[in-house]
Amino acid sequence: MTELEDLTRAVADNTVPGGSLYGRTVARIIELTLEPLRDAEPDVARAELENVCAWAARTKPSMTSVRNVVDLALATAAGTDGSARSVVESVSETMRIFVTRSEKAVEALADGISEIVKPGARVLYHSNSGSLRSVMRRVVDTIPEVSINVTESRPYRESRGLIEGIAESGVPVTLFSDAAMAVAVSKSDIVLVGADAVLSDGTLVNKTGTLPLALACKFQGVPLYGVTELFKVFDGDPGEVAMELRPAGEMSAGWDLVDSGRVAVWNQFFEPTPPELVTAYLTETGLVAPESMLAAYRDSVRP
């Protein structure tokens, strides 16, 4: 199987860990799709670009990193002379620049973690992402006497993948069921979650379970921070960001009542959490209030 086939399957099967990496993966898919088309007819190269961009946006409708990469690729192509070579070379270079910038942004997220996680803190995480892994690694390596709590994050139990990266550290880790989120919050001092999108009003879109987690935090007075690079902010109508639904079989494979149609399955993978439930966002530029995220994003992409 080729790299392009591997990456395409990973996106379709939802096995890429985190929104930032989804954006970088789609950027690489776009580059690989265009690579053999330098000498193609201009209409062919443009059609292939539009097809792969439409596929990515349709497959990951909740992830603004993907949407923004798609928009970036199409805008770059529109600014060329229209020849296949110009489209391929310009878009490919833009995708590579984006990937490098995103990697640096995720690394920089951890630089501000000492502002919010103090020695001895009990830190609760939900789900898995490159941003959370970067921050968790810095917490474990530099902040003394911390302990880690994680929720399962069903149906894939993604939080297990998150804590595997610190298994050798000796830091205490406790796993809670998603149904016990409120209990987990009561045993934590701070909650950190990733973001698959940040809407223009500061709404956090993340893995299902984030909203009840945020409500439990509000009830118990525990701060909840979104950890994200600014590129995940969507500068557009929030109604355009759909909440992705996954196949029923991920929850119910082999259950005859579902297979027969007697029981329906609603396997929603992402959900919005309103900005008033988010204490702040930890970004590559530091802490940003939810209502200031759109302005911070615009500043970050301004030439």
- Reported as a single tens digit per residue, the pLDDT across 118-173 is 999 999 999 998 899 999 999 999 999 999 999 999 888 999 989 998 989 999 99
End-to-end Cα, the chain, rounded Å: 39
Cβ(62)–Cβ(197) below 8 Å: yes
- Report the distance separating Cα 287 and Cα 18, nearest Å: 20
pLDDT tens, residue by residue, 190-231:
999 999 999 999 999 999 999 999 999 999 999 999 999 999
- pLDDT computed for residue 99 by the predictor: 96
pLDDT at 17: 84
Burial track 155-166 (b if 16+ CB lie within 10 A, e otherwise): bbebbebbbeeb
Report whether pLDDT(105) > 80. Answer: yes
Whole-model pTM? Answer: 0.87
CATH superfamily for domain 109-301: Translation initiation factor eif-2b; domain 2 (3.40.50.10470)
pLDDT at 49: 97
CA angle, residues 135, 141, 145, in degrees to nearest 5? 105
**Average pLDDT value for residue range 242-259:** 89
Residue 18: pLDDT band (50, 70, 90) is confident
pLDDT of residue 254: 87
Query: How many Å apart are CA 16 and CA 62, to the nearest integer?
Result: 14
pLDDT value, residue 89: 96
Q: What is the structure's pLDDT at 280?
A: 98
Measure the CA–CA gap between 48 and 5, rounded to whole angstroms.
15
Return the C-alpha torsion angle 195, 197, 200, 204, nearest 10: -40
**pLDDT band at residue 116 using 50, 70 and 90 as cut-offs:** very high
Q: What would the pLDDT profile of 220-235 be if each residue is shown by its tens digit?
A: 999 999 999 999 999 9
Give the pLDDT score at 253.
Answer: 85
Instruction: Say how far residue 154 (Cα) sits from the centre of its chain.
Output: 16
Cα separation of 177 and 292, whole Å?
A: 33
Q: Does pLDDT of 1 surpass 80? A: no
Give the full edge-to-edge strand order of the sheet including 173-176. 173-176, 147-151, 122-126, 190-193, 224-227, 280-283, 286-288
Q: Which CATH number fits domain 3-107: 1.10.240.10, 2.60.40.10, 3.40.50.2000, 1.20.120.420?
A: 1.20.120.420
Whether the CB-CB separation of 150 and 124 falls below 8 Å is answered with yes
Average pLDDT over residues 13-34: 93
Which pLDDT value is given to residue 263?
Answer: 95
CA atoms within 13 A on the CB side of 110: 18
What's the CA angle centered on 269, arms 267 and 271, to 5 degrees?
115
Query: What pLDDT is recorded for position 302?
Result: 77
- Percent of the chain residues past pLDDT 90, beyond the cut: 83
Name the 3-class secondary structure at 303: coil
pLDDT bin (cut points 50, 70, 90) of residue 19 is confident
pLDDT in tens, 29-85: 999 999 999 999 999 999 999 999 999 999 999 888 999 999 999 999 999 999 999
Where are the domains positioned within the chain? Answer: 3-107, 109-301
Q: Are 132 and 125 in contact (CB under 8 A)?
A: yes
Q: Are strands 280-283 and 270-273 parallel, antiparallel or unpaired?
A: unpaired
Give the pLDDT of residue 84: 95
